[in-house]
Amino acid sequence: MPNYPHPLIAREGWFFIAIAFLIALLVNIYAGFIWAVFFWLAAVFVLQFFRDPPRDVPTIPNAVLSPADGRIVAVESVHDPYLKRDAVKVSVFMNVFNVHSNRSPVDGDVRDKWYFPGKFINADLPKASLENERNALWIKTGDGSDVTCVQVAGLIAKRILCNVAPGDHLARGQRFGFIRFGSRVDVYLPPGTRINVNIGDKVYATTTVLAELRK
């Protein structure tokens, strides 16, 4: 799946940005600027929410990159509910001011994909990983490592978008999806993976190395 050719504003937001600015413009024309101030501010918020800047990809061969911008809310040994294995889970929470374009944490082939409807509780809470609406990808790296990358909806997130399917190949840092208006991304890694982040750390999609897989 090729990267889409617009590095600054995500295509998933074009419609919403156009509507927001059109409403602000119409209110400005028919009611005046004072009445339109709130709508202009809302339009600017929508524009910044869908920003999607280009990122440099680290060259560390076994690196696991952050799939999203945000804050680390979990680093723990768990049972991977998708691949039915022991794993280390690293979770990135995105607030409404973070970039919400999701990017592949590793180079690999998409072996499977699962979607689960669910709740829309605060994505900062641990139970959100298993109770909220979510979309999971099983990515098999070239050296045989299994990585599960899960998009999880948040309190006001109403749409998870994933643009890949089983059989597709993902390059590290490649855009693969988007979650609209608040969410988290969970990454399940093999036991023994070297983790480079701690709870509370701020991370950035593609540029932050979350972990390093065993060679």
Give the separation between CA 179 and CA 53, rounded to whole angstroms: 16
Buried b (16+ CB within 10 A) or exposed e, 127-158: ebbeebbbbbbbbebeeebbbbbbbbbbbebe
Given the residues 101, 129, 145, 183, select the one marked as catalytic: 183
Is 77 a known active-site residue? no
**Residue type at 117 in one-letter notation:** P
Give the separation between CA 215 and CA 213, rounded to whole angstroms: 6
Q: Is 144 left (phi over 0), alpha (psi -120 to 50) or beta?
A: left
Residues whose CB falls within 8 Å of the CB of residue 212, separated by 6 or more in sequence, listed in order:
60, 62, 63, 64, 193, 194, 196
Q: Which residues are catalytic?
A: 183
